[in-house]
Chains A and B, each alone.
Chain A
Amino acid sequence: GQSLEQPSEVTAVEGAIVQINCTYQTSGFYGLSWYQQHDGGAPTFLSYNALDGLEETGRFSSFLSRSDSYGYLLLQELQMKDSASYFCAANTDKLIFGTGTRLQVFP
């Protein structure tokens, strides 16, 4: 089967940098995506890696290493509004979501 594992919870303070890891056991996917979901809200697209390496989008960066079956999302200059759940997802003909990480940002 296909599975993507993430830490269940991460905490950090405003202004800090946090890394959310995603390890996977899947193959044949086009790339790895990251989504943010606030409580009661819709998942919203953050970042995508088709190739190995780092992709930077403002305060958010995402990394993929297919040889290590590993990716991460890096959030810089954390703000209170970044408190949310974050999901990695493998892009195939559909999205296969990871287990999700709840990020809590404290003042």
Chain B
Amino acid sequence: DTGVSQDPRHKITKRGQNVTFRCDPISEHNRLYWYRQTLGQGPEFLTYFQNEAQLEKSRLLSDRFSAERPKGSFSTLEIQRTEQGDSAMYLCASSSGQGYGYTFGSGTRLTVV
């Protein structure tokens, strides 16, 4: 297993377009998390899944954001009608739910122009 993979690494999109990111977690991990990070700030929690169930969604997450984990393996995060304020690094992490360590992917850097 090569860790948590995210695709694409970089995405530039025009304001108003929709974008979708993919995350492939460590295969044994049943929990998957999405975070957003802007420059100089700590990662901010967006949502998390246990297997295919979405258990929590941040109140900060607008209705333009949606995440899925259809088979309890990979996950997608979609942002509709992107805004310049959506520009950030989107990080995915996975954990076994039993321990305390999370494994993060290298992230998808989104730039909305």
Contact = CB atoms under 8 A, between A and B. Distances in A.
Interface in B7-51: 33, 35, 40-45, 48
B111 interface: no
Contacts of B54: none
B68 to A, nearest CB: 18
Contacts of A48: 100-101
- For chain B, give the interface size range: 20 to 34
B50 to A, nearest CB: 9
A30 B101 CA distance: 12
A16 to B, nearest CB: 24
B102 A95 contact: yes
A97 B43 contact: yes
Interface residues of A, number: 21
B74 interface: no
B100 A43 contact: no
Interface string B85-113: 00000010100000011111111000000
Interface string B48-66: 1000000110000000000
Given A42-B104, A98-B42, 19 more contacts: A30-B100, A31-B100, A33-B100, A33-B102, A41-B106, A42-B4, A43-B91, A43-B93, A43-B104, A44-B104, A45-B101, A87-B42, A89-B42, A93-B48, A93-B55, A94-B45, A95-B45, A99-B42, A100-B42
Interface of B: 4, 33, 35, 40-45, 48, 55-56, 91, 93, 100-107
